[in-house]
Amino acid sequence: MSLSLFITGTDTGCGKTRISCALLEALARAGTSVTGMKPVATGAERINGLLLHEDVKALVATSNVAIPRRYVNPYLFLPPCSPNIAAQQANTVIELAVIEEAFASCQSRADAVVVEGVGGWCVPLGDDLWIEDLARHLKLPVLLVVGIRLGCINHAVLSARAIIESGLPLLGWIANVVDPATVEPAAVINTITRHIDAPRLAVLDYSSTASAAQLAPQLSGCVDALRRHCTS
């Protein structure tokens, strides 16, 4: 039984990597062999001639299965911009077949693959190719991370509707408080809860220091939802 899923977010900086790493930790504690995967990443650093990315580094560090980096992150670009623009600048075409092969390699080595998207649900990867197409191609259930801050109600509701309209299962969503100055965060979260047709699986308070190990216990509901989906 594969416990793989796709994690998307309301936008850049909503906490997808934070949640992905915490979920990897939670799955590992439940006795699952797990690996993170970020098929496409932009905004890398060049260190000693190599392109490195903090999100990919965090996913690898939290995984309990060692997998070659080329499978964990098949497409990595230097400029911090939309993937379609970064790929064009690099004279590269992002191909679903390449990502599918990398995903299959990860899945053959681990019981669960936590696939983290880039940006939000409607981020372009190329001409007429979107993050939605990637998730649909991999046929994965989706977990939505909502960064709780000003404007997030609109982003959350539109994202959830788009995921549901794609035909993929929306396992649920996580409220991740990213701005401590958010006015009435509980009221914001309650408003989103009433207008998203999927369960709220966790609420993570603002923290700039909490580790994946510290956050993992709060994501037991996500693990349960994933197991129910995979056995239904």
Which residues are identified as catalytic? 38
Axis-axis angle for helices 96-109, 131-138 (nearest 10) = 50
Q: Is 180 helix (H, G, I), strand (E, B) or coil?
A: coil
Q: CA 98 to CA 88: how far, in whole Å? A: 17
- Amino acid, res. 231: T
| Token representation of residue 119 | 């940006």
Angle at 206 between CA 200 and CA 210, to 5 degrees: 100
| 33 contacts: CB under 8 Å, gap ≥ 6 | 64, 65, 109, 110, 111, 112
* 155 membership: H or E segment, kind and range: helix 152-165
| Token representation of residue 222 | 């996500």
Alpha-carbon dihedral of residues 18, 211, 38, 197, nearest 10 degrees? -30
